[in-house]
Amino acid sequence: MIKVKIVGVGSYLPEKVINNFDLEKMVDTTDEWITERTGIKERRIVREDQATSDLCYEAAIKALAMAELKPGDIDIIIVATSTPDTVYPSTACWLQKKLKTKGQGAFDVSAGCSGFLYAFLLAGTLIESKVAKKILVCGGEVMSKVVNWEDRATCVLFGDGAGACVVVESNGESGILSVNLGADGSLAELLYQPAGGTRMPASEKTVKEKLHYVHMKGREVFKHAVIWMGRAAEKALKDANLSIDDIKLFIPHQANMRIIKTTNERTKIPEEKTFIILHKYGNMSAATIPVALDEAYRSGRIKDGDLILMSAFGTGFTWAGMVYKW
Ligand SMILES: CC(C)(COP(=O)(O)OP(=O)(O)OC[C@H]1O[C@@H](n2cnc3c(N)ncnc32)[C@H](O)[C@@H]1OP(=O)(O)O)[C@@H](O)C(=O)NCCC(=O)NCCS
């Protein structure tokens, strides 16, 4: 067991709601198509002046309040995101500035929708190895600024939001019981943002060709997602010597209801144990799992000692599975 304990959770969703009927007025789509194919009914969208660190800040303040800690008590700040405020510095550094604290380590983790589980594991190992005592781990995304609002195949899928956890050393009662991480970079081009990095720096041409937006081969992504979401969850259970009966709650990454249902069927995870926020928020990439953790905890679905199974899949491709004892 990696002896680590979540002592604070928080989340933030922007106020502005765009529902499927709003999208009907923007692109050639219908509420029926989006609901049937994805399970999404609405999503939250940031204001023009908000960036990822602003969302993480609101989530972090709530998590710190629950942990009864001040920003200055934190030793390391980690933000999992694929939609950073700037290419550099990291969103974690912008968040640190907003939290009005300095000195502690701050960096981002880029692992797409699996990012939060990668970052949480990293926080656990940094605490276990005595590098830090208290770590703030956020998952935050502003997907609405990287989707092409003229592309019906992608703009209906995503939403903005952030979740945060404050993580400290545990006395052995809480912790990560098992974890697996994976990636397949050979499939990177099935879901990526082509321009804006060093491969294809921003230019008049890249802007004109809309290469700073999400480019996705949805059907291909779907096929890989259903395989790896399930395998990662099953491996996490097996490595912890547990069965699904031992698990209180399954928190999957939430990109599409059909991916979650197929994962549940393949792994025999009952629907009633699966915590869903997808219909309200869409796919918030790295923010999905921490927002779900916060909502599950605050609604009483998670209590001390409960075993939580989490699994994720995203750009890279990356995937991850974890059993955490609350
Ligand atoms: C994107 C996704 C919902 C599309 O569902 P699908 O059943 O695979 O649909 P397809 O892409 O094959 O498209 C089917 C048809 O619907 C159309 N379509 C696509 N988006 C549409 C929309 N918003 N409204 C109406 N029609 C749409 C397509 O143009 C296509 O039309 P055609 O048959 O005339 O060419 C699905 O592939 C998916 O969820 N993929 C995974 C995405 C994902 O999870 N990404 C993030 C991973 S973390």
pLDDT tens for each residue of 17-63: 999 999 999 999 999 999 999 999 999 999 999 999 999 999 999 99
The rounded Å distance from CA 242 to ligand 1 centre is 36
Distance CA 43, CA 28 (A): 18
- Please state the pTM of the whole predicted model: 0.97
Any idea which fold 4-172 has?
A: Peroxisomal Thiolase; Chain A, domain 1 (3.40.47)
Q: Is 113 in the pocket of ligand 1 (CB under 6 A)?
A: yes
| Residue 156 confidence (pLDDT) | 98
Instruction: Tell me the three state secondary structure of residue 208.
Output: helix
| Residue 309 confidence (pLDDT) | 98
| Residue 78 confidence (pLDDT) | 98
Measured by CA distance, the residue closest to atom 21 of ligand 1 is 153
pLDDT tens for each residue of 146-157: 999 999 999 999
Measured by CA distance, the residue closest to atom 44 of ligand 1 is 255
**Averaged confidence pLDDT in the chain:** 97
Distance CA 248, CA 304 (A): 11
The rounded Å distance from CA 148 to ligand 1 centre is 15
The closest-lying atom of ligand 1 relative to the alpha carbon of residue 256 is: 39
Domain ranges of the chain: 4-172, 176-325
pLDDT tens for each residue of 259-312: 999 999 989 999 999 999 999 999 999 999 999 999 999 999 999 999 999 999
CATH number of 176-325: 3.40.47.10
Distance CA 56, CA 12 (A): 7
| Residue 38 confidence (pLDDT) | 98
Nearest to 80 by CA among 25, 121, 137: 137
Count of helix runs (H) and strand runs (E) in the chain: 11, 13
pLDDT tens for each residue of 165-224: 999 999 999 999 999 999 999 999 999 999 999 999 999 999 999 999 999 999 999 999
Q: Is 23 in the pocket of ligand 1 (CB under 6 A)?
A: no
Distance CA 176, CA 196 (A): 36
Tokens of 61: 């303040």
The closest-lying atom of ligand 1 relative to the alpha carbon of residue 113 is: 48
Measured by CA distance, the residue closest to atom 31 of ligand 1 is 153
Q: Is 148 in the pocket of ligand 1 (CB under 6 A)?
A: no
Q: Is 53 in the pocket of ligand 1 (CB under 6 A)?
A: no
Residues 307 and 323: beta-carbon distance below 8 Å:
yes
Asked if domains 4-172 and 176-325 share a fold, the reply is yes
